[in-house]
Amino acid sequence: MSADEIKHAGLNLQHADPMTHEKAGAGIFGFWVFLMSDAVLFALLFATYGVMLRGTAGGPVPHEVYEMKSAFIETLILLASSFTFGLASLAMKYEHKQHQLQAWLGVTLLLGLLFIGWEFHDFASMAAKGEVPSRSGYLSAFFALVSTHLLHVTAGCIWAVVMIAKIRTFGLDARVKINVLRLGLFWHFLDIIWVGIFSVVYLQGLA
Amino acid sequence: MDQQHAYRRQLRTYAIGFVSALVLTCAAFATVRFHLAPPQTAIGIVFALGLVQIVVHFRFFLHIDLERSARDDLQLILFSTLITLLMVGGTLVILANLHHRMM
């Protein structure tokens, strides 16, 4: 039976909604192509950071710049948001009451906003100490990498708002469902990038 | 009833992923925070834990594994990984070498 088949990477709807599952394959494959090209972008930003790490131009060095506590809290926030998005996807797949899907999406959105706020707070306190992108090659590379991730999270939050509005207006039709699946992939993907950031940037700098 | 069973199973997948990601994260931060190893070793441990965590995220949050995934997707992901490794590895090796020669 074709509903048994796994049609794309990520959470598959399968028997829960065979009609949408049938349509999801191509659209989600396309989104994976985007995600993987985005991964290449981030990989090059990581490589740039690795190369620029020693280019401090007599300015602040990594272990003076980073604070372990806020890096840890940001990591926990993003990880929790990944889990709550998983709960949202499952609420959608198994057609629990609709407010449950909206509630989990809302929680994910709030965690995303908290993450953005925390990171802005970090950037502001760095700027107050004169640690700005123009200070040295190292700081330019740091801000390029971390702000690109921040920009992606912001885009994810806007997208989540749009999805909540769409669910309220159109209900759960096939298009809305496939879009929620895509947003889920995007959100989990951003968490994976963050694992790279906290390992390569924060913990390497503080070790 | 069958759907209920499938729901429980997938919920457990997310929960396992979340808990193991949490443990790996805490282990990585603890290694650096409490100076459990000399700096170079600590960086090695952190990178290894990070890699494992990325695999955990792929497996439990993105539901990708080598046996049960759609074929095209798996090839896309593996190919992108290859390109990424080549570009990052190449950049680091070439520029480190250049840096060495300029000293």
Please give the ipTM for the structure prediction: 0.90
pTM: 0.92
- pLDDT value for A2: 56
Mean pLDDT of B33-61: 93
C-alpha distance from A66 to closest chain B C-alpha (Å): 13
For B35, left (φ over 0), alpha (ψ -120 to 50), or beta? Answer: left
Contact B63 A9 (CB under 8 A): yes
The reply to whether A136 falls in a domain is yes
Q: What is the DSSP string of A32-44?
A: HHHHHHHHHHHHH
Give the number of A-B residue pairs with CB atoms closer than 8 Å: 143
Q: How far apart are CA A110 and CA B51, in angstroms?
A: 28
Query: Nearest residue of B to residue A185 by CA position?
Result: B62
Contact A199 B99 (CB under 8 A): no
DSSP class of residue A8?
S
The reply to whether A6 falls in a domain is no
CATH code of the domain containing A113: 1.20.120.80
- pLDDT value for A1: 41
User: CB atoms < 10 A from the CB of B72, how many?
Assistant: 14
What's the domain count of chain A? 1
Mean pLDDT of B1-24: 90
C-alpha distance from B5 to closest chain A C-alpha (Å): 11
pLDDT in tens, B72-88: 788 888 899 999 999 99
Q: How far apart are CA B64 and CA A143, in angstroms?
A: 31
The answer to whether B27 faces chain A, any CB pair under 8 Å, is no
For residues A114 and B69, the model is more confident at A114
The reply to whether A3 falls in a domain is no
Residues 6 or more apart in contact with residue A61 via CB below 8 angstroms: A138
Q: How far apart are CA A127 and CA A123, in angstroms?
A: 6
Q: For residue A46, how far is the Cα from the chain centroid?
A: 16
Chain A residues with beta carbon closer than 8 angstroms to that of B84: 39-40, 43
- pLDDT value for B70: 67
Domain that holds residue A51: 14-206
The reply to whether A2 falls in a domain is no
- pLDDT value for B1: 56
By the 8 A CB rule, do B42 and B35 touch? Answer: yes
The reply to whether A79 falls in a domain is yes
Q: How far apart are CA A146 and CA A63, in angstroms?
A: 16
Contact A198 B88 (CB under 8 A): no
Q: How far apart are CA A172 and CA A11, in angstroms?
A: 17
Residue numbers in chain A where pLDDT is lower than 50: 1
The answer to whether B52 faces chain A, any CB pair under 8 Å, is no
Average pLDDT, chain B: 90
Query: Nearest residue of B to residue A72 by CA position?
Result: B29
Residues 6 or more apart in contact with residue A201 via CB below 8 angstroms: A49, A62, A66, A142, A145, A146
- pLDDT value for B68: 67
The reply to whether A81 falls in a domain is yes
Buried b / exposed e over A119-147, threshold 16 CB at 10 Å, is beebbeebeeeebebebbbbbbbbbebbe
C-alpha distance from A158 to closest chain B C-alpha (Å): 21
Nearest to B4 by CA among A176, A42, A93: A93
By the 8 A CB rule, do A129 and A60 touch? Answer: yes
What ranges do the domains of chain B cover?
1-63, 69-103
Q: For residue A163, how far is the Cα from the chain centroid?
A: 16
